[in-house]
């Protein structure tokens, strides 16, 4: 199995058909009956982690009825070991936190992620890219660069000016415009 990246445009917590397909795609991507999922909420304030975990766990369990799911919440102290022992790394979105710093602190991150399913929602998708448009900051920012792409999450046609800023920024890389409740899959 190659490393599979599933990038979601945002608002995955809405109960919609599109989001159900997204969660089902994550479960189906592993091709396993027993799946270990590490939920990473580092892009959010810590007091929201348990509630977010409960919401995500309920949706995963609904979509993975024929699978055995073992889910846990990432901790900064054990993050590298947790990555090593999981099938799916689920990087949920947010706007305050230490997701980028946590990923950059792991020197062999590419090796640890090999042959896993890496999911990024909004901020989680942004941080995996080389460059992304930050709606909260109304600016272009750099991700950790695991994917040599530019990402625009929460995209809609009203974002044409912001999209042109992203197109012009840095080197010429593929741009992925990902609307809310939609996702793309990249295999490496």
Kindly list the domain boundaries of the chain, sorted by start residue. 4-123+179-187
- What is the pLDDT confidence band of residue 134, given thresholds at 50, 70 and 90? very high
Domain range 4-123+179-187, CATH architecture: 3-Layer(aba) Sandwich (3.40)
Task: Using the predicted structure, report yes or no on whether residue 137 has a pLDDT greater than 90.
Answer: no
Strand, helix or coil for residue 140: strand
- 62 vs 118, residue with greater confidence: 118
Query: What is the C-alpha separation between 166 and 4, in angstroms, rounded?
Result: 24
User: What pLDDT does residue 1 have?
Assistant: 66
Summarised one tens digit per residue, pLDDT across range 39-66 is 999 999 999 999 999 999 999 998 877 8
Predicted TM-score (pTM) of this structure: 0.96
Q: Mean pLDDT over residues 137-148, rounded?
A: 94
């Amino acid at each position: 199995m190659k490393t599979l990246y599933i990038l979601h445009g945002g608002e995955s917590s809405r109960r919609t058909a599109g989001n159900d397909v997204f969660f089902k795609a994550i479960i189906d991507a592993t091709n396993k009956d027993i799946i270990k999922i590490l939920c990473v909420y580092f892009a959010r304030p810590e007091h929201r982690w348990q509630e977010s975990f409960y919401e995500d766990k309920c949706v995963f369990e609904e979509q993975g009825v024929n699978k055995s799911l073992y889910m846990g919440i990432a901790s900064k102290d054990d993050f590298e070991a947790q990555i090593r022992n999981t099938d799916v790394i689920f990087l949920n979105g947010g706007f305050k936190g230490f997701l980028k710093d946590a990923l950059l602190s792991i020197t062999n991150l590419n090796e640890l992620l090999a042959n896993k399913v890496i999911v990024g929602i909004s901020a989680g998708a942004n941080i995996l890219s080389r460059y992304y448009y930050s709606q909260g900051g109304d600016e272009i920012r750099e991700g950790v660069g695991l994917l040599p792409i530019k990402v625009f999450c929460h995209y809609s046609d009203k974002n044409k000016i912001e999209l042109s800023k992203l197109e012009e920024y840095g080197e010429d890389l593929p741009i992925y415009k990902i609307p809310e409740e939609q996702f793309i899959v990249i295999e490496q």
